[in-house]
Amino acid sequence: MSEINTYKYYVGGKFAESNSGNLIDIECPYEKTVIGRVQAISKEEADVAIAATKSAQKEWAELDLFKRADLLNKWADQLEIDAHDIAEIIMKEVGKTWNDAVKEVTRTAEFIRYTVQEYIHTNDSAMSGENYPGGSKNKIAIIKRIPLGTVLAISPFNYPVNLSVAKLAPALISGNAVVFKPATQGAISAVKIIESFDKVGFPANVLQLITGKGSDIGDYVSEHEGIDMISFTGGATTGRHLSSFSTMKPMVLELGGKDPAIVCEDADIDQAVTEIMSGAYSYSGQRCTAIKRVLVNEAVADELAAKLKVEVEALSVGMPIDNPVIVPLINKGSADYVDGLITDTIKDGATLLVGNKREDNLIYPTLFDHVTTDMRLAWEEPFGPVLPIIRVKSDEEAIKIANQSEYGLQASVFSRNFSRAVAIAGKIEAGSVQINGRTERGPDHFPFLGVKNSGMGVHGISKTIDAMTREKLLIINL
């Protein structure tokens, strides 16, 4: 039997073991073996990590921008060099397919390079020269954006590299220091990207990686007076909890969703089927922007349901190394939850078209027709491969059901009539509405946001930089 690796946390520019002596086993979601152990750091160690960012941040912010840019670009290069090593961990740790794991790393390297360019062009060029003349007063105000200080970056399990670096890179290029708390199931992937970071030669203490369960250290670090801003991606319950005590602390929350695909009777049904299939089922639906319900006009519901059924039956199911669409879910708790939703939906009288089969954490792709608004599946986020079809009589009814959700991340509208689609989109309560396309994050420089329980504030490269900086005025009295 091969020895199990123990991964260290990262503080003061070095990898370290926690004095707590506590380690957390990380189990592969599909092989059910322990693939490594991460440190459960103590609150005192979190204190030390946060305190050390303070002077490091000031020096980092004063460092020539092109030196900061150069280091970040080198990190991007290093991630590409280490891509296979990192992808292997992503696959084993969060059960993402091999191809998607590799893509996640290369997309992340591109993200860093874009972020660097964006910052240089918007914050260090003529475009950044905002000023306010003082009118009848003999004054002029020159506006500069400055970093907030120490950013706490908390990321979820499902994109352990991309959604982490989507916080780290904008924070660093704009002169902040970072305390990075990854999802525990995702913490080895986090160590791997910080190993790449470490090879490049950033100054010590500008980025600290702290590992440990959110339930143990999450509240402590989030409330910590040394944290100047929180960038969080994860579930709505955790996000709401964090926002309940974030007094006077800027915070951006990217949370869950129940994204609807609204299909009008004049839609190109084949196109809608293609988009719904990749929107709903890729990575077994473990995407915040997965299509999680279909609201279809009853005039075309039979055709849409029949075509979706054929496609769902044909979905590949298996282990991540073979690159299927459907892979085992992240853990037993998630699989139990999705299983329970399926059982209740059958009990409640919906028509099961495909699925309702489970092997351990592997939930086979499941499709329901005739789901109604009194069923849990109409409202809850499964984070698994189960899709409800809800039949509606009109656009108004589709909009009403879409907006009754507690969530408002994204939505899709399928119609050949552009004016009609735009009119529906205008009435949907969501951060973004896709016309004739699946719900998805990206390209990464697009603004990305959710309303209601789907989030607060805006992400997307330039918007994240804005959220992690603030205006400072220099007022010259003439």
* In the complex, minimum distance from the CB of residue 450 to ligand NAP, in angstroms, rounded to a whole number: 5
Helix 83-94 with 187-200: angle, nearest 10 deg = 160
Of positions 29, 257, 285, 328, contacts ligand NAP by CB under 6 A: 257
* In the complex, minimum distance from the CB of residue 253 to ligand NAP, in angstroms, rounded to a whole number: 8
Q: Please, which residues bridge with residue 146 across strands?
A: 470
Of positions 13, 203, 235, 447, contacts ligand NAP by CB under 6 A: 235
Of positions 59, 124, 130, 219, contacts ligand NAP by CB under 6 A: 219
| DSSP result, 104-122 | HHHHHHHHHHHHHHHHHHH
Q: Does 183 bind ligand NAP (CB under 6 A)?
A: yes
Six-digit token pair at 290? 């997965």
Q: Does 95 bind ligand NAP (CB under 6 A)?
A: no
**Terminal alpha carbon distance of the chain:** 76
Q: Please identify, using beta-carbon distances, which residue of 147 and 214 lies nearer to ligand NAP.
A: 214
Of positions 233, 284, 464, 469, contacts ligand NAP by CB under 6 A: 233
Q: Does 400 bind ligand NAP (CB under 6 A)?
A: no
* In the complex, minimum distance from the CB of residue 185 to ligand NAP, in angstroms, rounded to a whole number: 6
Give the closest residue to 71 by CA, choosing from 206, 203, 200, 195. Answer: 200
Residues 442-471, one symbol each (x = binds ligand NAP by CB under 6 A, - = not), give: --------x----x----------------
Report the C-alpha gap between 323 and 327 in whole angstroms. Answer: 9
Catalytic position from the list 45, 104, 118, 254: 254
Q: Please identify, using beta-carbon distances, which residue of 72 and 255 lies nearer to ligand NAP.
A: 255
Q: Please, which residues bridge with residue 387 across strands?
A: 367
Q: Within positions 64 to 83, which residues make up the interface with ligand NAP, using CB under 6 A?
A: none
CB atoms within 10 A of CB 28: 18
- What angle (nearest 5°) sits at the alpha carbon of residue 27, between those of residues 25 and 30? 175
Q: Please identify, using beta-carbon distances, which residue of 11 and 179 lies nearer to ligand NAP.
A: 179
Q: Please identify, using beta-carbon distances, which residue of 78 and 108 lies nearer to ligand NAP.
A: 108
Give the closest residue to 75 by CA, choosing from 165, 10, 206, 14. Answer: 165
Q: Please identify, using beta-carbon distances, which residue of 210 and 267 lies nearer to ligand NAP.
A: 210
- What angle (nearest 5°) sits at the alpha carbon of residue 352, between those of residues 288 and 399? 50
- What angle (nearest 5°) sits at the alpha carbon of residue 229, between those of residues 223 and 231? 100
Report the C-alpha gap between 340 and 217 in whole angstroms. Answer: 30
Please report, for residues 35, 245, 381, 414, the alpha-carbon distance to residue 242 in angstroms, rounded to integers and kept in the order given.
30, 6, 20, 36
* In the complex, minimum distance from the CB of residue 475 to ligand NAP, in angstroms, rounded to a whole number: 38
Q: Please identify, using beta-carbon distances, which residue of 94 and 277 lies nearer to ligand NAP.
A: 94
Q: Is 254 a catalytic residue?
A: yes
Q: Please identify, using beta-carbon distances, which residue of 241 and 400 lies nearer to ligand NAP.
A: 241
Q: Please identify, using beta-carbon distances, which residue of 213 and 370 lies nearer to ligand NAP.
A: 213
Parallel/antiparallel/unpaired status of strands 407-408 and 451-452: antiparallel
Residue 276 CB partners (closer than 8 Å, separation 6+): 261, 263, 291, 294, 308, 387, 412, 438
Size of the site for ligand NAP (CB under 6 A): 32
Of positions 41, 151, 154, 277, contacts ligand NAP by CB under 6 A: 154
Residues 344-383, one symbol each (x = binds ligand NAP by CB under 6 A, - = not), give: -------------------------------------x-x
Q: Does 180 bind ligand NAP (CB under 6 A)?
A: no
Helix, strand, coil percentages for the chain (3-state, nearest 5): 45, 25, 35
Six-digit token pair at 323? 């690159």
Q: Does 222 bind ligand NAP (CB under 6 A)?
A: yes
Of positions 37, 213, 358, 470, contacts ligand NAP by CB under 6 A: 213
Give the residues lining the site for ligand NAP (CB under 6 A): 154-158, 163, 181-184, 213-215, 218-219, 222, 233-235, 238, 241-242, 254-257, 288, 381, 383, 409, 450, 455
Annotated active-site positions, please? Answer: 254
